[in-house]
Structure 1
Amino acid sequence: MSITVSEVSKSYGTQQALQAISFTIKKGEITGFLGPNGAGKSTMMKILTGYISPTSGIVKVNGYDMATSKKKVQQSVGYLPENNPLYLDMYVREYLKFNAGLHHLKNPKIDELIERTGLLPEAHKKIQSLSKGYRQRVGLAAALLHDPEVLILDEPTTGLDPNQLVDIRELIKTIGKEKTVLLSTHIMQEVEAICDRAIIIDHGIIVADKRLAELQDEKEQLLVVEFDYRVEEVALQQLHKVIAIKNTTRFCYEILFDTKRDMRPAVFDFAHDNGLKILQLNKKNTNLESLFQDLTKNN
């Protein structure tokens, strides 16, 4: 696995930003890391780049353990942060040469990267004169200079116009064919246009981990059920084909099933067998946007 995160938690004083989250990402996979503001996305990104350390848990990138081989991890990761800090008074090629020096690269492939990232028409200009889209390209080129195995992008398309969006999306998809890409965003359309898989995080907890093809094929269903009493989630997990359960309000639960078959009769049987009354039972769409809203809107 290119990225392995195991039971990672992060606390800032009494505030817990991440709560024992785990996931793995393979090489050649573009994964969208989704969540509302404050969900813990940027914290996870900073941990994966070695900028901050987790309070507990294990992080491995390309087989290197972050706790014992942080430098090796950082050498194998390319990172484009959300605010994309650039030296605006530098020329494009000058800036890339400067970054190559920071990586101690002897023969950086700057011209090749300029062409690959579509910067050739603007390579002679100062960064301050570039549009937001071209500045993002400069950030991507800088992140790719040392030929990292893993590319981590934090909100890479924020503020881009529609034409710039299309160009950056295609560039990321091309890069993702040969590298592992983790892309943090809160924009559903970005994930659907670029990613193979989506991980949804809310309040520091992973609430869904789905391949986009699964959602598009509608092989899953989300049921919303309200009982007249509180039910332990461990009991609901005994239902057939259950993937995830979320207690949204006092007696209300969202249950995700890995099947097309209507599972409402099974929920009725569960209520009957356990002496419960069902106050409401609804079936919801499981496309990415509705899944995101259903799993995060009540928090």
Structure 2
Amino acid sequence: MIEIEGLTKRFGAFTAVDGVSFSVDKGEVVGFLGPNGAGKSTTMRMLAGFMTPSAGTARIGGHDVTDDAVAARRQLGYLPEGAPTYPEMTVSAFLGFCGRVRGFRGKDLDARIAAAMERTQLEGVRLQPIETLSKGFKRRVGLAQALLHNPPVLVLDEPTDGLDPNQKHEVRSLIQQMAPEKAIIISTHILEEVQAVCTRAIIIARGRLIVDQAPDELAARGPDLDTVFRTLTMGDAA
């Protein structure tokens, strides 16, 4: 469902992403890890079609994100870093706007909004302006818009950022429920999240992919997964 080959992004003399390659199949939940500045968000923005690669290719459902961008985006639900919205809109108005942009109308649109709000537990704030919501609720609005069209591929940048422990558990449970029918990439700094919901862990550092393993294989490198992560990303990993 997701194919990335030699993906590279340069900003002048600085290479933010350097020849990254991996694929994600239906039923996989991939944890995408790395220190700040490693290239995680840049990779996800290129995959989502928000940033043009300097080299390499990315495909979603067989559609090139550059050459066949509209078809690729139809297959994708994307929660970007910061979950940008129109803050003056209410939650229901924003989701309605997102649904109409995707071509939904009438009862179909209403049903999709209701289902997305139920999944992300937004019914209680549906008529509130987004700018009045907490960071955690704003994150859930971003997640709801990513789920509106029931896409086969989800790319989620820090999906539990700003959520309290109960909300984190709810989002992780939702991801586990959706996982069998989707290909999912989660960018996260939370190693516990990778162990809880991911079938694979990909680590990048200095723009390069250095690890692609199952979480239990990564944990087998040492008794403390956090120590393993820090060693891999700060040292010269083989």
TM-score (norm 1): 0.73
CA gap of 1:112–1:160, structure 2 versus 1, over 3 A, is closer
Conserved? CA contact 1:155–1:183, under 8 Å: yes
Tell me how far apart the structure 1 counterparts of residues 211 and 223 of structure 2 sit (CA, whole Å): 11
What does 1:62-73 align with in structure 2 at a 5 Å threshold?
62-73=61-72
| 1:214 aligned to which of 214, 217, 232 | 217
Look up the SS of the partner of 2:8 in the other structure: strand
| 2:170 aligned to which of 162, 167, 181 | 167
Conserved? CA contact 1:75–1:148, under 8 Å: yes
Structure 1, unmatched stretches of 5+, are 222-284
Counterpart of 1:50 in structure 2 is 49
Conserved? CA contact 1:133–1:160, under 8 Å: yes
Any idea what the Cα deviations from partners look like across 1:231-281, whole Å, max 9, x if unmatched? xxxxxxxxxxxxxxxxxxxxxxxxxxxxxxxxxxxxxxxxxxxxxxxxxxx
List structure 1 runs of 4+ shifted beyond 4 angstroms. Answer: none
Report the CA distance between 1:101 and its aligned residue: 1.4
Name which structure has the greater RCO, CA cutoff 8 Å, separation 6+: 2
Tell me how far apart the structure 2 counterparts of residues 33 and 172 of structure 1 sit (CA, whole Å): 15
Counterpart of 1:204 in structure 2 is 207
Counterpart of 2:82 in structure 1 is 83
Q: Does 1:157 align with 2:160?
A: yes
Structure with greater Cα Rg: 1
Report the CA distance between 1:111 and its aligned residue: 1.3
Paired residue total = 232
Tell me how far apart the structure 2 counterparts of residues 120 and 177 of structure 1 sit (CA, whole Å): 26
Tell me how far apart the structure 2 counterparts of residues 298 and 184 of structure 1 sit (CA, whole Å): 21
Conserved? CA contact 1:132–1:159, under 8 Å: yes
The aligned amino acid for 1:9 is T
Q: Does 1:141 align with 2:144?
A: yes
Give aligned-pair identity as a percent. 42
Tell me how far apart the structure 2 counterparts of residues 9 and 159 of structure 1 sit (CA, whole Å): 30
Counterpart of 2:7 in structure 1 is 8
Q: Does 1:184 align with 2:187?
A: yes
Look up the SS of the partner of 2:180 in the other structure: coil
CA gap of 1:210–1:56, structure 2 versus 1, over 3 A, is same
Counterpart of 1:265 in structure 2 is none
Counterpart of 2:117 in structure 1 is 114
Report the CA distance between 1:286 and its aligned residue: 6.2
Report the CA distance between 1:287 and its aligned residue: 5.2
The aligned amino acid for 1:293 is R
Q: Which stretch shifts more, 43-52 or 170-179?
A: 170-179
Any idea what the Cα deviations from partners look like across 1:43-67, whole Å, max 9, x if unmatched? 1001000111111112111011223
Counterpart of 2:128 in structure 1 is 125
Conserved? CA contact 2:139–2:162, under 8 Å: no
